[in-house]
Structure formats: C-alpha cells, structure tokens
Structure 1
Amino acid sequence: MCTAEATASLLQVEETFSACLARINTLILKPLLQAGSDQKGKENFKLFLLLNDRFQALWNLTEENYCMLKQKHSSSESFCIQDIYAHHKTVLKQFLTDFTSETSMSLALYTVLHKPIRDHIEHYILLLTKLNEVLKEGPEKDVVTSAIKEYVKLESFVSQVLDEACFTKSLWKSLSYKFTDMLCVPERRLLEDSKNLPISASTNRSDRILLFDDVLVLIQGNSFQSFDLKLVWVDENLSLFGSYYVFFTVGPAILFLCPQAVWQWKLNQAVRQALNGKRDFPLWGKTGEGTKPPSCRFFTYVFRLEGKFKNTSYEGEWHWGKPHGKGTLKWHDGRNHVGDFKEGLEHGFGICLVPRKSEDRYDCYKCHWYEGKMRGYGICEYGNDMVYKGYFKDNVRQGFGILENFSAEHPFKYSGQWENDKKNGYGVWEDKDRGERYIGTWLDDHKHGQGIVVTQSGVCYQRTFHADKMVGSGILLLEDDSVYEGNFTEDLTFVGKGKLSFANGFILEGTFTNKSGQGLQTHGILNTSNEQLDDRITKVQLGLEEFPVEKRWKGIYDQFLEFIHSGCKEETEESFTGFHIQTSKELRKSQEYLFCQKYEGTEDVSWKTEDILEELVQHQELESLQSYLEKALKSSLHPLGKLLKALTIAFQATYSGIGANRHLLTMAQEEVKYYAKKIWEFYQGLLHLALEQKGQLPSKCMDEDTSDEKACSVVLPLILPCFYPELFMLYMLYHEREDDLYCQGIVDLSLFPDIKLLEFLDVQKHLWPLKDLTLTTNQRRSLIKDKCFLSATECLQKLITTVDPREKLVILQKTYEEIESTVSRVVEKDYRLPMDDLLPLLMYVVSRAKIQHLGAEIHLIRDLMDPANRGGLYDFLLTALEVRKCFQQRQLEVAVAFLE
C-alpha cells in the first residue's frame, strides 16, 4: 500500500506534465492545425495530424490519471498502484502499440516536443523505483516491477527514435538533391548506412547501401536501385573467404560480403518488421530476436524489366524473391494466369485467359505447366467455339488429343495424335456436315497415307491420301454389299481400270468411264459364276495391315510409360491423366473433369500414388488381384482407370455412330484385345516398380510367357463393358444376314405348338416332357405352348443380360444342364445326351428363347473367350448352337408345308 507522500509525489508529476502538454497544445499544435489547410505539403500535414492524434491521446490519459490521483489524495484514502495500473493498462498498451507502429515525427518539431516527454518518463521511472524499494514481496511489488520495465523500454524507444531521426536528417543533408527528391519521405527512417558500417557489394566497392525502415537502397555512382523490404530475402552461406550472405530481391540476386553479422541482423530485423507492419518495442532490443523473416510471403508486385513477366502484375505467394505457390499474373493486354508457380515460373495446374485479336472473346487454357510452359494434360476452350482436350509439350499440342468444333458453320471432331501443334500420326476425323468419318494417318494437318472413310449412308472405302487428296487405287464397299477395287473419284464414281464384285457373286472386270449424260459405262468381262461367293463379300475387313494395332493410340500409351519411368511421381501422374481430385473448389467449378469421375465403390481404397504401389504389392494373388483391378479400372482416380477412360474415348471416337460399319469389326475386335494386353503390361510395370522399392522379386504371375493369357483371362472381362455397346453393334451388323434368316426361322417355328415343334425337330418321343404338364379337361396338348423345357429356355434368355464372355459360357452350360435335368426326370434316370439327341433339343430351347441376335452373341463369345476354355464343354456347346445354321433354310422351306 502506498503512503500519502508517494501519492503527493505522483500527483505533482502528473500535474506538471499535464500543464506542459496544455502549453504545447495551445502554443504549437492549435496554430499549426489552423494553418494546415493552407499548407502545400499534404504528406507533411497528414503526418502532423497523426502526431496531433497521438498527442491528444497522451494528454487525455494524463488528465484521467491526474484526476484519479487527486481524488484519492483529497479523500486521504490509501490506494493501490495495482488498481491504477490495471485501470490504465489497456489504454496505455494501445497507446504504446500505436506509437511504435507510427514512429515518424516532423523533424522541425522534435526538439520542442521530445524533452517534456523524456523528462516525464524519467520522473516516473525514479518514483516507481523508489516505491519498489519500500514494497515487500507480493503482487503489488510485481506490478510496480513490470511498470518500471515498460517505462524503461519506452525511454529506450524514444531515445532510439530520436537517434534515427537525427541520423536520417544528417543523411538528407549529405545526399545530393537528385537522391533526396526521390528518396526523402517524411516518415522514412534510416536504420544503417554502409558509409558508417562498411559492407562490400560484389559489384563495386564504391557502392553505397542504405537500409531504411521500408526500403533497401543500393547507390551506384549517379544511379540507385530501391528494393521494398517486403521483397528482400537474406540468405546465409559459408565460403572459403569467410561468411557472406545474399540479398534476394525480385530480379537478379545481389551478393554482399561482410566480416560481421551486424548488417545481417539489422536487415533481418528490418525485413521482419516491414512484413509485420510495425516496429519492435524497443526498436533494437531483444523483441523478435532469433526470429527470421519468413521465406514464404504473400504480396502484390508489378514487374518492370524482368524477363517474360515485363510490365505484369503478380499477386500471390513468393519464395526467395520469386513467385512460388498460388498466384495470379495479369498483363496489360488482358491476359491473366491463375495457378501454381515454382521458382518464378508457371509450374503445376493453371488457368490462362488470352484475349483474341479483333474479337471480344477469350481463349481459356486449363492446363498443367512445367517450368513456364504447358506440358501434360489440358483443356483449352478457344474463343472460336473449338475445344481441345489432350496433351501439351512446350506450349504446343503434343501427343493424344481431341479437337472439337461446336460452331454451326463446320462442326467436326478430331481424335488422335498431335506433333508440334499439328495433326500427325494416327487419328480419326468426323465431319458432321458431310456425315462421314476418316480413320487413318495424318501429316502436318493433312490426311496423308492410308485411310478409311466411312459414310453415313453405309458406303465405306479405303484409299491412299496425299495432302488430303486421294491417289492411286483403292477398295470401295457399297451399301448393297458390292465391292469395287480400282480407281474412283471423290464423289465415288468409278474411273479407269477396276473390278466390281456384286453381292450375288458376279464379277465385272474392265475399264470404267463416266460421260456426262450417259451414266457409267464399262468395257470388260462379266463373270457370272458364283463359285467363290461363300459370304466372301460381307467378310471383307479393312485397316488390319494398314494400321497395325500396336501403332494405334500410341500417344495414350506414351503418357503412361512416362509416368512409370518417372517412378510414378504424383506431379507426372497429374499432368498425364488430367486434373487432380484435390484441386480447390474455386478451380474445380471452372474445370471439366475428363478423367476424374469418382467411383462410389472405391471408398475403401486409397488412390494416392504411394498407396497405389503399396496396394499392388498386397494384391498379387489371383483372386485378390481380380478384385483390386476391378475397383481400380472402374475408378477414374486410379492411373489404370484413367488409362481405360482415355482408351474408351478413343474407341468410341472410331466405332460409334458413323463408325459403326461391319467392315471394321475385326479392326475393333483386335483393338479391344490389345487394350487388355497393354493394361496388363502397365499393371506389371507398376508392380515391378512397387516391388523394387521394397527390394522384393516379382511373383510367378508376372512371367512374360503368361502375359497374353492373363490379359485375356483377367483384364479383358473387366474392361469389356466399356467397349461392349460399340463392339456388339459391329457384331450385329456383320452377322445381320444370318441373324435375319434365323429370326425369320424363329418366327416360323413360333407358330408350332410344343408337340408339332418337337416332331418337326425330330426329338425322340421318349424324351418329351409332356407328362410333366398339368392339363385340365378343357385343354388339348396341341394348344399348350412354351411349357416344355421352360427352365432351360429361361436360363438361355439370360444370355443377353451380361457382356462377359465367361458369364455367357456359364449360361450356356447351365442351359445344357437344365435340358439334361429335364430329360433325366422324363426317363427317370441319369441321362447323358448324345449329340444326335442334344442338337434337336437345343434347337427347341433356342427357338423358344427367341434371342434376336444369337449369331452375333455366339461369334462374340468365340472371338473373346478365354483360350483356356477352347476344346472343352464350352466349345462343344458353341458348336452345337452354330449347327443351327444348317437348319435355317430347311425351316423356311418345310415349315409352311408341315403346318399344312
């Protein structure tokens, strides 16, 4: 508790200081405020207004404290310094904070204003020190001790600020008017001068360095460079000549050699304070000591003379003087780039808008970038209604890509290989105006080499192209199944020597001419013998030798190989397969995810690169592997799933819509098989990499001898659903004739009641399951239909419910078992059907099942089934079903007579 004597002393100090402040306010501040509107120096006047605000706050606090002391003294009550300090602590701290953040005073006023304040601080320190000596240990003494420390800091702070002001004033007097006019700012303070504390720049020993509280200035002769402290980094290193450090700024780094650490310490402190937006309290005390400025920062900067970003504005994250992290670049011409940066260049995902000349539209590039250039996967939406989805390298389209024009004038779509921003290699062009599709090779944006053209009318031809023009002879497949081999014009008119094979087997070989008004004329030989007919015409297949399957879609495979060869780096995986799922919500709204559609069944599996490799090692056993691959291939987040998605897009671009032509069946079929082979190879590549990282050896399932078998048995059934719609359509078109005959036969046979049909098919009567039928007195056996072998019929109908050849074979086997089971019940013993009995019974079940495209189904199963199933029961059942073709003609000829 304080005595009355201490109270009186404090009251006297406060009264004296308050009176001093009142005189300063009356004699100095008020006149300056009244004259302020006439002052020309607006910056100086703003500074004075700030000074006046701080002065008034100090005066009000002093008056408040004086009134409280006076009240306590007049009532002769004892008081606690803790109460007063606690009452004013918040206000005092706020005042000190504001004071330290704005340290500038008018140089003309500092001698008038500083002495009363310094004297008042000294009086308080003296009184508090005396008070502290008489107090006993306890809370009161702790409060007084804390107050003394704060006043000592304030005393040091005021002294340092005044020293800085004098130091700065001397500098302005010593510099030439040229430097002063450009560098002198009222609130700017000089912290260090290399003239006083030597430091040598690597450029020239005569260079002078000035460290201010907001900028770093390098004076070289008659010129200088000024660097905002927020844009300065200090890097410490060791060399053979001693310690040195580098100033990193926006632009080239500046190297300084220094035998002492004072400059380094002061520069770090100044940079940190500039970034924090306030000065330390005291200025050069232990506050913030040991805390270096962050190397990663966020601010806006306008480039002036710096390389490719000249005259651009960058707002974002920085690291060691370069854009690094998330940021936005803006050019004067309207371009802007939002995305990831690394060491001063665009690197990672970014969106770039580029205005089109003479158009009020933009090209929008949503791409991956590598060291300042587009590289990897991207989507580009051009202002002329065209969209490109594909791969880039060094700012040009390179690799697999899809370019589509959505404008009404000339809509088209190209899916294929690009080199140096031009269509080069294998690709598919769909001209939506002409209703035709080109499948073939390209060179410098032109059709060049072998190509197949499929038209919407069903006409299909294969020809050699040179710079978009047809050259040499070719093969033309007409809608009526006629085949022409020779030369023909762009409007498909026969010219010159050629051979025309008609659908009925006739062959016309000779010279063709087309004179105006006279139609097509020929001079040649017509061969009417159809000995070689044998369905030869409908079985013509194109593109097999001209486009080896391993050379199609090479651009897609190359991207995956690059990913594996890089060691499956996440950065490479993102750029080769599209946008990463962890992209921010803001960017995600503006992106089209070509390869990133989340699969609901993958919640229990992680698709991060490191987790993928770990999962692969854990799922090497066949059963576990199949389950893992099924989930991976269905997920567009897994690299294998992304690869499958790209292949699906390429397959649809070739064989869907206009491309659904029966003459492309074999080409499509071998392509699907090759997809399975490549996916298995890439799986092996991933597994090899995962095992190498663990120091393990590959398992037996990875032997090269079994690769094709594994691709067919493990991968093909998993990927077939992605290609089945287009592939089965080709099968239906290819086998359209025989399926039409089959359907007509089914229609005829459907007119038969059970007994009549069983008799017609020569089914042995003792095998008829009629006694299984429950008949009423009003029913006749001849009226009962679709009852015999009903379970087998329903089983066979499930054939169209699955796309997996393995499952289709199982359905055939179950159908066979149901037939045998029914026969066994009839004969009341186990019965193994011989071929002579099985064939007619199978024909009965097939006719009642009424599967519309059974021929296409059978051939698809044969072509895509696991080679391990060939030669067994499955092969036997397929052969039995194929024998039905022998009955088709007989069905058509005999059915009507039999019914009569």
Structure 2
Amino acid sequence: IWRSDAETFLNAHSVVTASNSQIAISEWCSRWKVAEQRLNHLDDIADGTFRYWKRLGVSNEQNLKSPSRLVLWSADAGEEKCVVKNVTNVKPKSYLPRSWTSLIVFSDAVALSERREFQLYKFPLVWAEPLQRDNRYFVRIYTPEDELHVEFNEAAAKADFLQVCHEWRTFDRRYARRRRQNTSGGSGLRRRYGEYTFSSAHPSFKNCIYEGSWLCGKPHGKGRLKYPDRKEYKGHFEDGVIEGFGELTVPAEQCNTSVVNSVFFTDASESPTSAKGDVYTGCWHNGQMNGLVSVKWANGSTYEGYMCNGLRHGHGVQQYTLGGEQQIYIGGWRMGMRQGYGVASSNRERYLGLWANDMRQGNGILISIDGAYHEGTFDRDRLVYGRLLCPAPDGEFNTIYEGHFEKAGVICEKGMLQVSRHDLIEGQMNGNLISGEVRLSNAIFKKCFRASSPLTPVGQSLSDEEPSAGRWTVPSEVKWKEMFEHFLMGDLRIEASSLGQQPSYDSLVGVLDHSAIWRSLAGTMTQIRNGVNIEKFSFVFDDRLEKIPSFDAPWSNTYYAMVVDYWRVALSNKFHPLCRLVNGLIEVFTSSYNNIGTHRAAYAELVHEFNSIISRLYAVVRILFTNLPPSNEMHTPVPICVDRVHTSSADSSELSIATASTISLNSLRGCSRNSSPQRHNVSEMSPSRVSCGSHKSALSDDFSVLTPACDFIVEHLFAQSYAIIFTIYSVSCAEADKRYWDRVVFLNAHTDVKLLTHLEVNRDLWPIDVENADDLDMPMIRATARKKFYKSAIHTLQRLSCEFNPSAKLAILAETFSEISACVTRFAEAGEKHVWTTDDLLPAFMYVTVRAQLQHLGAEIRLIGDFAPQLRGGGQIELMFTTLKASYMQICKEKSLP
C-alpha cells in the first residue's frame, strides 16, 4: 500500500543528499513520522475490526465477514451516543429495511443492516457527498440504483463519515496511485471504473451487466453492456444513457455477412466479419442510433449512412438480397423508407429517379441490361407514361416509343412509335415492345423528315449547344441533397431553418456567422485528432486543419492559393468532413453511371448532374471562404499576378503578367527552340496558360487559357470520375469516332509528303528537321519521311488524352498551335515572317491531328465543349477549339476518302 510513498521518499532523499545532509536528515524524520501515523491508523482499524466481529456473535451480520474486509467506521442505532440521527431510504423505498440497526463503512463496501437482514453496497460504485437541507447535517449515499440520506447530530460526525467513505481508495490498488492527485474530501473521485449488474427494476438496463467508466453513479465514458438475451454494446455512455460512438452486436444462429466498401467509414473492412450476428456501429443518441452508422445484418445485408431515432433517415447506402438477386440502393431515406432521389441497382436493371414511401414515385430513368432505356413518370413502382428507347439490332436506328405504359417494356393505350429515321406510327397500341410483340389498333403511319432520336451520335454534329434537360429529368439540385444537408447541418452546425429560408447554398454567405462555423469545424478536427489512433490508421494529421485561415481576406491570387491549399489538406485527411462529402459525392456519381448505367442516352443526364455537383460544392466551399466569387460567377478567372517565365534565351528571363496558375505561351514557343527537355514553367496550382509567339498571325501574342475560380474542384472531381465520364462520352460518340478512326488509319499509311499534298498544306509550311544530312540526300529523306513533319506538335497533341481537367486539355491544344508555329519558324521556308491565316492553319492542323492518332477525338472535343468555361468568352482559344472541331468534321465527312 505504501510502495508509492516509499519510492517518492527515496527519490527525494537521493536529490537532497547531493545538496545538504542536514536537509536529508530532516526529511527522513518527517517522513518517518508520517509513516508512523499511518501505521498507527492501520493498527486502530485492525483493533476496531476485531472488536466489531467479536461483538456480532452469531447474528445474521456474520455473513458480512471477509478475510480482507476491514471496518473503517460503524454506528449502532442502540448506542446512547450514536452520531447518526436517522437513515432515510430514498430509492427504491421498498428495497431497504424499514428500520436500521447498524451503518458500517468497510474497506470495500458500505453496509446497512437490521436484525434479520442487511444491504451491502460495494466500492468503488458507492458515492458519498454532503447534502444541504435546513441547516441539518445530511450525507447522500448513492449507488447505480439505490440512494440513502444519512442525518448526523453534528458537523464533526458528518465530516468524519465523509472522510472515511473516501478512504476506501487506500485499499484499492487501482486507485491508490491517484490518491494524491485528488485529495479533496468533497470530490470523492467522481469518475470510477467498475462492474455492476442491474436489477430487473432498472428502467433502461434490466438485468444487464455493465463494465466500464462511471460518473456519480451513472455509466459515463467507455464501457461494455451485456444484455440478458446475449446482446452486447461496446462504446460510449453519457449520464447513464448510450450516447456517442459505439457498437451493438445482436447474436444470430447463422451469419453470412458481406461488407460493402464505402467512404462513409474509412476503416471499413474488405473481409467478411467473423461475428455471427447483426452488428450496429455508429453514432448513438439517447439509446438509439442517430447520425452516421454502419449496419451489417446476419443475412448479409448492409446499410451505411445516416439514421434518426433508430430509423434510416437522410442519405444512405443499403445492400440486400431480394429473390436471390443482389440489390443496392443509394440515395435518400425518411423514417426508414426510401424517399427523395435515389439509385437502385440490381443484376438486371438500374433505376435513377424519385422515391416516395419506399416505392418509385415521380420522374425517373430505368436502364435494363439489354440496353432498353426507359424514362418517364412512375407511380407506385410502375412506369405509367414516358419514353422507351430500344437498341437497334442492326445498329442503324433505335426504336423509340413515347406514350402510356402498363409496366416497363409493355406499352398500352395511345402512343407514338418511331421505327426508323423517317417512319412514325401514331395511335392505339399494346404489347411488349422489347420482345417485338406489339398489336396496333386505330393507328396512323406517318413520314417524319427529322430524326428525333436522342441517341443520335453526338460526334456527328458536335453542336455548340449545351445538352438540354429531358422532359422527365429529375432536377439536378434535388440529387444528393441529403448529403449536402448532412454536411451543412451536422458538420458546420448550420440551423435547418437557415437552410430552408435561402433559395440556394450561395445565399447563405453573409447571413451566417462564418467565424462560428470555422470554430466549430476546427474544434471538430481537434476532437478527431484526440480520438483517433494515428498509429493504427497510419496517417499524419496536419495541424493546419485545426487553425482558422484568413477566410475574410480580399479576393486575390493569394486568397485563391490559400483556398486551394486548404482544399488539398482537407482532402488528404480521410476524417475531415469535407473529404467525406467530396468522396461521397464521387462515389454516388460513379455508382450511378457505371456498369448498366453506362448508356449513351444518359449523356445529358450525366452532364447536368456533374455540373450541379461542381456548382453546389463550390457554394459549400464559399460558405467557408466567403470572398470567393459567387456561384454564378465561379468561372471568373483568378486575379492576375506577376509570374516569372522563361524567354527564348535559356539564360535570361522576363516578368510576365499571368494568373495564379497559368503559363505564358511565349515561354512555350521559346522553349521549343532549345534542346532543353523542360518546356515551360508550371506553378503547382494548375497548368493552364498558353500564348502564341511574337510573330504576327491569326494567333496574337496575348492569348492565354485562364484559370477559373472553381478549377480546384473541377480538377479533383475529374481526376476521380474521369473513367466513368469519358466512357459515357465514348459510347455517345461511338459511330462518329469509328468513322473518324477508320479514315485516320487509312491516311496514316501515306508518307508525310503524300499526306501533306492530299491535305493541301502550303508547301512553304512543310517543315522537317534533318540533322547530319547532305544536300543531295535531302529530297529523298523528305520524300520518304513518316511522322517527321511537325513532330513536336504531334507529340504535344497526343498528350490531350492524358489530361483529366478540360482546362488542361485546352492548354495542350494551345501548346500544339504554338509548336506548329515554332516548327514553321525554325524549319519551313516561310520562316518567322509567315502570317498565319485560317486557310493555312486548318490543313496544317489536320495533318497534326491525323498523325496524332487520337482514337476518341470526338469524345474529347465534346467533353471540352461541355466543361471548359473559357470557350464561352470567345477569343483565340475558341478559334483554336473551332479549328480542332473543323479538322475532325472534315476528316469524318471527306468524300474522297473510303
């Protein structure tokens, strides 16, 4: 018991001896006196214990005897000078004896007895504290389920009793080391650890066994609760209630659990769980699951998402088996039922649309594995009106029906059926259109002179118009609304009333207390850092996440750099709420359009949804960084700053005006003249500025690809979703790209001279870099050369498919034009004095396009046109992009080619 005191004394003695022997002797004497007093106190306790057990005789209290149990204090009601005036049973009243005979404080328990029975309360789960009541001397003794009020005759007796009740810690090894850290008699070490079995009368934990931390008689902190039916909860408690993060295991006879990887839980295991039962993991409030949870049922079904009062509510992902077929639902929930926008997938079909009361209700899209594409209005899980696009068996034209449906694939009543590009049937019809069994009645055959198929290859027209929303398209703002609300209300602590009063997230800027939002976010990250085992998850926690940046600084290139820096740091921490939101949006987006969802008719749906995600994410970031441009101006270029860029000389440099993430095209042109492999100076933020050379041409010197304010969001989303997005574009432009590719393969069989002649490229613009060649050999080399003309420009354009960001693709395009100009300047007869015209530029660029051999160039062009805001302002970049489209269209439509 006194080992810790002895160690402390010896340490103090060794230090003191080195300084002064007299001080050491004095210290020895004082400590021996303390030890003597404690030994005498223990001797008194031993004598008192002996006398007490001897006095009991053969009474019922003999059952209290234990070899290690010491009597610290006792009071008998029959004594003449009893210090205890009365003992009152507060709760439960019927549980304790009516009249007491003895009140004893042991070294491990407190006992209250009468002649025939007794009640024992074991430490450490016994608390004693003073109680103020009408200037009378009361002490409140309470346990997890019982409470006593003891009244004393005088204050000294009350103080002695409280001191004795706190002395049990001296005899418990778990608390002996903390005695000196908590010397206050009134506090009595409120936080304790112990095991307790609740009675059947407890309102919440009937006959349960709890082991863990306690605070003032109630489970508080980490603990484990075992139920009589073998259920077990491990996690946090607060004030006697299950509260915080925890895991509840419900046993079952059989379990075949499979785990779905998700961004909602970063530590989700890829292997099946070994526990045979249902496992509920997540946040709890007032004994029920509330907040982010993960549920794994014994039958293999899983749910990951949000709950409210134990019911699925908000955004969630559920995997289950129905009729032997795997089903996955991703979307909104309300009180345990699917509600709002959601995506339901099975092995045979995928539904993207609205739900109500756990049924498909409202506008939606149904894509089947055989390629049938339904879109329309659903009512109680049944398609009632809309459009059906059946894949063409010959690949020429897709059968299109618009009208009433009995169910998916089965048409009825009145409708319009287009069987070819110019043949239309309108009238009464019914049957299974997918299988080809349709009966016509009272129908009219018509000729239509304009194909209305939404499956018309996009690459054949490459129109400048943005894809329009369909008649039955779900508004993009409705999609994944719950995920944004969880982030704003749950992580940023924004009131639901504030969200409801504003038409958009962008309207919240200036209305909210943004300093409070930042304090809440920084505090959340501090709690996460303190609660996460960094060694277990193997990551470095960046201190910048706990600091509040200068979010109210003026808008500038420096401000933009600060935003990008925080964005990258936040996304590098998988526990950051913003990282969870962004990765969650990427997951639900890719899950909507992968596999069965990869349908060419879903092209417009994908574009609108992706643009909406970018816009709403930008609005959310703007709530944190309030001086970013508004969402309707998120394509505003980053303010201009002064960057150092290289000139044509490798040893000199000049200052040029550029944005925070742009590159001077003069530097590109200059670098192309030297042999250095470093082509341009790119800042870490984004590589997007290109300009032409110093010669006068159709491309002026001040050209640049500016970086929009939302570029950091676009870059990340495209990097994570590019495979799905580009697959949709490739499928949409498949026919045109196939025709283009066949002709490119044919043209690439020609030599450079023959190809340049065929494309009618001006002979003054035929450059070739011939090294170490005699003048006599020059004509033969030029005549037999393949892929030698404009070689650097060809290699540059081939990098177009290596970039994800549309702005970066535009930069590659601009750099290609710069290389074409540099090749002419260095190797062609026209030289630096050549003035570029459209008639000269288009054939030369067509040659570079053919030699670059980009197999899906139509998809690349369409993607750039849909997501590059720089094209909306016109200028030279639009001229370059138009030249690229013209080259593609010319190759596709050239009549002289097979």
TM normalised by structure 1 equals 0.72
Partner of 1:323 in structure 2? 219
Match of 1:875 among 873, 878, 886: 878
Partner of 2:498 in structure 1? none
Match of 1:375 among 267, 290, 293: 290
Q: Deviations along 1:510-556, whole A, 9 cap, x unmatched?
A: 22244999943335333334245697745797767541111111221
Deviation at 1:482, TM superposition (A): 2.6
The separation in 2 between residues aligned to 1:574 and 1:138, in whole angstroms, is: 49
Tell me if 1:831 matches 2:862. no
CA pair 427-275 structure 1, distance change in 2 beyond 3 A: farther
Q: Name the aligned partner's letter for residue 449 of structure 2.
A: N
Deviation at 1:656, TM superposition (A): 0.9
The separation in 2 between residues aligned to 1:863 and 1:464, in whole angstroms, is: 28
Matches within 5 A, 1:260-299: 260-273=155-168, 276-277=171-172, 293-299=188-194
Deviation at 1:706, TM superposition (A): 4.0
Partner of 2:493 in structure 1? 565
The separation in 1 between residues aligned to 2:234 and 2:519, in whole angstroms, is: 21
Match of 2:109 among 215, 240, 253: 215
The separation in 2 between residues aligned to 1:279 and 1:342, in whole angstroms, is: 23
CA pair 541-581 structure 1, distance change in 2 beyond 3 A: farther
Contact 1:564 1:685 survives alignment (8 Å): no
Matches within 5 A, 1:186-585: 187=69, 189=71, 191-193=73-75, 195=77, 196-200=82-86, 208=100, 210-213=103-106, 214-218=108-112, 225-236=119-130, 241=135, 245-251=139-145, 253-255=147-149, 260-273=155-168, 276-277=171-172, 293-304=188-199, 305-356=201-252, 361-405=276-320, 409-432=324-347, 435-479=348-392, 480-490=397-407, 492-514=409-431, 519-523=437-441, 524-532=443-451, 537=456, 546-562=473-489, 563-565=491-493, 582-584=531-533
The separation in 2 between residues aligned to 1:866 and 1:743, in whole angstroms, is: 28
Q: Deviations along 1:423-467, whole A, 9 cap, x unmatched?
A: 2221111112xx211111222322222221112222111133233
Q: Deviations along 1:605-628, whole A, 9 cap, x unmatched?
A: 3365x33x3486799711232233
Q: Comparing 219-228 with 621-630, which one deviates more in the overlay? A: 219-228
The separation in 2 between residues aligned to 1:894 and 1:279, in whole angstroms, is: 93
The separation in 1 between residues aligned to 2:226 and 2:43, in whole angstroms, is: 44
CA pair 236-831 structure 1, distance change in 2 beyond 3 A: farther
CA pair 210-667 structure 1, distance change in 2 beyond 3 A: same
Deviation at 1:686, TM superposition (A): 3.1
Q: Comparing 495-504 with 871-880, which one deviates more in the overlay? A: 495-504
Q: Name the aligned partner's letter for residue 345 of structure 1.
A: V
Q: Deviations along 1:827-881, whole A, 9 cap, x unmatched?
A: 1224341112111111111111011111111111121113576312211111111
Match of 1:166 among 21, 42, 51: 51
Q: What is the DSSP-based 3-state SS (H/G/I as helix, E as strand, rest coil) of the residue aligned with 1:317?
A: strand
The separation in 2 between residues aligned to 1:227 and 1:535, in whole angstroms, is: 79
Q: Name the aligned partner's letter for residue 894 of structure 1.
A: S
The separation in 2 between residues aligned to 1:765 and 1:278, in whole angstroms, is: 97
Deviation at 1:720, TM superposition (A): 1.9
The separation in 1 between residues aligned to 2:431 and 2:175, in whole angstroms, is: 97
CA pair 239-153 structure 1, distance change in 2 beyond 3 A: closer
The separation in 2 between residues aligned to 1:574 and 1:465, in whole angstroms, is: 45
The separation in 2 between residues aligned to 1:629 and 1:723, in whole angstroms, is: 18
The separation in 2 between residues aligned to 1:579 and 1:652, in whole angstroms, is: 28
Partner of 2:896 in structure 1? 894
Deviation at 1:335, TM superposition (A): 0.8
Contact 1:425 1:442 survives alignment (8 Å): yes
The separation in 1 between residues aligned to 2:476 and 2:591, in whole angstroms, is: 16
Q: Highest CA radius of gyration, 1 or 2?
A: 1
Q: Deviations along 1:297-325, whole A, 9 cap, x unmatched?
A: 11111111322211111111111111112
CA pair 565-239 structure 1, distance change in 2 beyond 3 A: farther
Q: What is the DSSP-based 3-state SS (H/G/I as helix, E as strand, rest coil) of the residue aligned with 2:214?
A: strand
Contact 1:498 1:510 survives alignment (8 Å): yes
The separation in 1 between residues aligned to 2:715 and 2:612, in whole angstroms, is: 13
The separation in 2 between residues aligned to 1:145 and 1:581, in whole angstroms, is: 42
The separation in 2 between residues aligned to 1:821 and 1:814, in whole angstroms, is: 10
CA pair 436-140 structure 1, distance change in 2 beyond 3 A: closer
The separation in 1 between residues aligned to 2:244 and 2:161, in whole angstroms, is: 37
Partner of 1:683 in structure 2? 621
Q: Deviations along 1:234-255, whole A, 9 cap, x unmatched?
A: 3446677477553332126555
Contact 1:431 1:437 survives alignment (8 Å): yes
Q: Name the aligned partner's letter for residue 794 of structure 2.
A: T
The separation in 1 between residues aligned to 2:630 and 2:148, in whole angstroms, is: 58
What is the RMSD of the two structures over their aligned residues, measured on CA atoms?
4.3
The separation in 2 between residues aligned to 1:661 and 1:796, in whole angstroms, is: 29
Match of 1:736 among 722, 734, 737: 734
Contact 2:428 2:440 survives alignment (8 Å): yes
Q: Name the aligned partner's letter for residue 324 of structure 2.
A: E
Match of 1:701 among 607, 628, 636: 628
CA pair 199-739 structure 1, distance change in 2 beyond 3 A: farther
Contact 2:218 2:239 survives alignment (8 Å): yes
CA pair 529-552 structure 1, distance change in 2 beyond 3 A: closer
Matches within 5 A, 1:593-632: 603=540, 605-606=542-543, 608=545, 610-611=546-547, 613-614=548-549, 621-632=559-570
Contact 1:313 1:330 survives alignment (8 Å): yes
Contact 1:350 1:367 survives alignment (8 Å): yes
Partner of 1:42 in structure 2? none
Q: What is the DSSP-based 3-state SS (H/G/I as helix, E as strand, rest coil) of the residue aligned with 2:740?
A: helix
CA pair 579-292 structure 1, distance change in 2 beyond 3 A: closer
Q: Comparing 852-861 with 533-542, which one deviates more in the overlay? A: 533-542
The separation in 1 between residues aligned to 2:122 and 2:518, in whole angstroms, is: 38
The separation in 2 between residues aligned to 1:633 and 1:740, in whole angstroms, is: 39
Q: Name the aligned partner's letter for residue 316 of structure 2.
A: G
Q: Name the aligned partner's letter for residue 735 of structure 2.
A: R
The separation in 2 between residues aligned to 1:410 and 1:557, in whole angstroms, is: 31
CA pair 830-578 structure 1, distance change in 2 beyond 3 A: farther
Contact 1:792 1:818 survives alignment (8 Å): yes
Partner of 2:805 in structure 1? 804
Tell me if 1:661 matches 2:599. yes
TM normalised by structure 2 equals 0.72
Partner of 1:671 in structure 2? 609
Q: Name the aligned partner's letter for residue 591 of structure 2.
A: A
Q: Name the aligned partner's letter for residue 197 of structure 1.
A: V
Q: Name the aligned partner's letter for residue 725 of structure 1.
A: A
Contact 1:268 1:292 survives alignment (8 Å): no
Aligned residue pairs total 728
The separation in 2 between residues aligned to 1:478 and 1:578, in whole angstroms, is: 54
CA pair 346-264 structure 1, distance change in 2 beyond 3 A: farther
Matches within 5 A, 1:168-183: 180=61
Q: What is the DSSP-based 3-state SS (H/G/I as helix, E as strand, rest coil) of the residue aligned with 1:426?
A: strand
CA pair 271-168 structure 1, distance change in 2 beyond 3 A: farther
CA pair 859-253 structure 1, distance change in 2 beyond 3 A: farther
Q: Name the aligned partner's letter for residue 520 of structure 1.
A: V
Q: Name the aligned partner's letter for residue 109 of structure 2.
A: V
Bigger relative contact order (CA 8 A; separation at least 6) = 2
CA pair 576-310 structure 1, distance change in 2 beyond 3 A: farther
Tell me if 1:884 matches 2:779. no
Deviation at 1:403, TM superposition (A): 1.0
Contact 1:352 1:366 survives alignment (8 Å): yes
Give the gaps of 5 or more residues in structure 2: 7-21, 177-181, 256-274, 459-466, 495-515, 637-707
